[in-house]
Amino acid sequence: MKRHQKKLLLTVAMIAVGIASRLFFHDHPIAPNVEIVTVLSLLAGYYLGGWFALVVPFGVMAGSDFFIGNTGIFLFTWSAYLIGGLAGYLLRSARQRRWLTAKGVGLGLLFTLFFYLYTNFGVWLITPWYERGLNGLLYCYYMGLPFLKYQLVGNLIFVTAGFTIAETIRRRVASKEKLIQAGTVNSKQ
């Protein structure tokens, strides 16, 4: 299978998993605001690069919001995840795989804080729920803290697992390709 076809297949799979996870975790009583869109955005940016860094988060959000619905805040949530894909792509530019999972987790946690600040600013800006001014904005951030807690814990788990699994698969595929090139393994195995 050609490289571009593999990327397309991975993109479709990531979008499908992302949509399924958003539908599962939507209004989940035990794990509100847990999501895997962050890890999918970062992985798409890092491993797939290019337009895929934007296509995966956009596809997940558009596909899942088709079923879940959304409000005017979608401009902030969708654009935040697009920025997450770009952040994964920037991590890719470092090209050093040493401590990649730790770098990915650090980036995931920073992104979670960005997402919290950015989307809560959007809630304050767009909705009538909070008074205009600094007190209203600070109260909006205060009210968002329970959601931040769950998102931080979820992203700590999912980003760690995502980068660990992706790197393990990448290493095994690279190792097999080296063996095939050396002629010691049949390419059909």
For the domain that residue 137 is a member of, what is the CATH number? 1.10.1760
Query: Is 66 a residue whose pLDDT tops 80?
Result: yes
The span from the CA of 55 to the CA of 41, in Å, is 9
Collapse the DSSP code of 77 into the 3-class scheme (helix H, G, I; strand E, B; otherwise coil) and give the result. helix
Query: Is 69 a residue whose pLDDT tops 90?
Result: no
HEC string of 10-52? HHHHHHHHHHHHHHHHCCCCCCCCCCCHHHHHHHHHHHHCCCH
Residue 116 lies in a domain: yes
Residue 147 lies in a domain: yes
**pLDDT for residue 185:** 55
Residue 102 lies in a domain: yes
Query: Is 152 a residue whose pLDDT tops 70?
Result: yes
Average pLDDT, the chain: 87
C-alpha distance from residue 8 to each of 12, 42, 82 (Å): 6, 17, 18
C-alpha distance from residue 136 to each of 46, 71, 125, 131, 142 (Å): 37, 20, 10, 5, 10
Alpha-carbon dihedral 74, 142, 21, 25, rounded to 10 degrees: -120
With a CB cutoff of 8 Å and minimum separation 6, the contacts of 88 are: 41, 42, 43, 44, 45, 46, 53, 107
Report the amino acid identity of residue 182: A
Residue 49 lies in a domain: yes
The span from the CA of 122 to the CA of 76, in Å, is 6
Name which residue leads in pLDDT, 25 or 133. Answer: 133
* Number of domains into which the chain is organized: 1
Query: Is 30 a residue whose pLDDT tops 60?
Result: yes
Residue 39 lies in a domain: yes
Q: Of all residues in the chain, what percent carry a pLDDT higher than 90?
A: 55
Residue 189 lies in a domain: no
Residue 34 lies in a domain: yes
In this prediction, residues 35-59 reach a mean pLDDT of: 93
Residue 52 lies in a domain: yes
User: Which H or E run contains 150?
Assistant: helix 134-182
**pLDDT for residue 52:** 94
**pLDDT for residue 95:** 63
Residue ranges making up the domain that contains 72: 3-182
Query: Is 174 a residue whose pLDDT tops 80?
Result: no
